[in-house]
Amino acid sequence: MAAHSGEMRKRTFVVTRFDPDVDQVPKTQSYEVACRPDWKVLDALNHIKDEVDPTLSHRWSCRMAVCGSCGMNVNGEPKLTCKTALSEYGDVVEVAPLANFPIVRDLVIEMDGFMEKFQAVKPWIITAKEKAAEQGTNLQSPEDLAAFKQFSMCINCMLCYAACPVVAKEPHFLGPAAIALGHRYNMDSRDEGAEERNEIFRGEGSVFHCSYANECSEVCPKGVDPAAAVNQAKLGAVVDWASSFVVKRSR
């Protein structure tokens, strides 16, 4: 194991606690932790869980910013805690569950609402006619791939939902990641489902709720730029609506 240079630094972690069997509302609890200089926020939370208070609940998995499990609000900003160095912070670090989500317990949020929105945009390839396996694969040029690749890099960490001021006020809004994913399939040269998705984009959770605050893109840890996707999707939804008056629809 590599040696850890530098001195330990004592920090106070102000962590949101909520026990659904006991608490009516969330509260905070402070923990004093001597932190190693190379620690991420997640390391400190794991230390608290392992050494100080085993009742603390938080989600994490891969520790390398790929699985998207460890998203939390750190000093008010949505962050992947496995990627966020403690050296960026001072002596007091506030860790709260992701904003705008119901809280299941402590730092664990309810994800089902997010999954419903995800499913709503039909995030799969839709084709008018199923292609038989013997007809071969669907070919795609590098240029076609480049049109949507950026939007397929999302790891579903939900930081964009925690940052979005519209999500905070409009519960029906599909939200950044779901729209980015729907737009990703609309841009896919193999897909024929844009009409269906554009109808969803114009529906109850409309893309037009977005006021382009750009917060989703500011906090995205993977550079997906959901704000770009949402605003491109707005144009796509309008063009699709307008063209429906002049071009007869197949479905």
Partner 1 sequence: MARPSHPEAMTPHRPGSTRTAPPQVPDDFWTRRRMLTYLLFDATGLPYMLVGLVALRVAFALGRGPEAWASLMEQFSHPIYVALHLLALVSVLFVGVRFFRLFPKAQPAKLGPAKPPPAPVIVIGLYGAWIGLTLALLVVLGGIWP
Contact residues toward partner 1 (CB under 8 A) are: 16, 18, 20, 23, 25-26, 28, 73, 76-77, 96-97, 99-105, 109-110, 112-116, 146-148, 161, 165, 167-171, 175, 187, 211-215, 218, 225, 227-228, 231-232, 234-236
Shortest separation between residue 198's beta carbon and partner 1, angstroms:
13
Least distance in Å: CB of 7 to partner 1?
31
Residue with Cβ nearer partner 1 (42 or 237): 237
As measured in angstroms, the least distance from the Cβ of 9 to partner 1 is 24
CA–CA gap between residue 173 and residue 208 (Å, rounded): 9
Nearer to partner 1, 43 or 215 (CB): 215
Q: How far is it, in rounded angstroms, from Cα 24 to Cα 90?
A: 31
Exposure string over 85-97, b if 16+ CB within 10 A, otherwise e: ebeebeeebbbbb
Compute the least distance from the CB of residue 57 to partner 1, in Å.
Answer: 12
Q: 12: which strand partners? A: 32, 92
Residue showing tokens 């932190």: 35
Looking at the Cβ atoms of 44 and 98, the one nearer to partner 1 is 98
CB nearer to partner 1: give 18 or 39.
18
Q: Is 65 exposed, middle or buried (0-12, 13-18, 19+ CB in 10 A)?
A: middle
Q: Least CB distance from residue 137 to partner 1, whole Å? A: 23
Give whichever of 170 and 192 is closer to partner 1, judged by the CB atom.
170
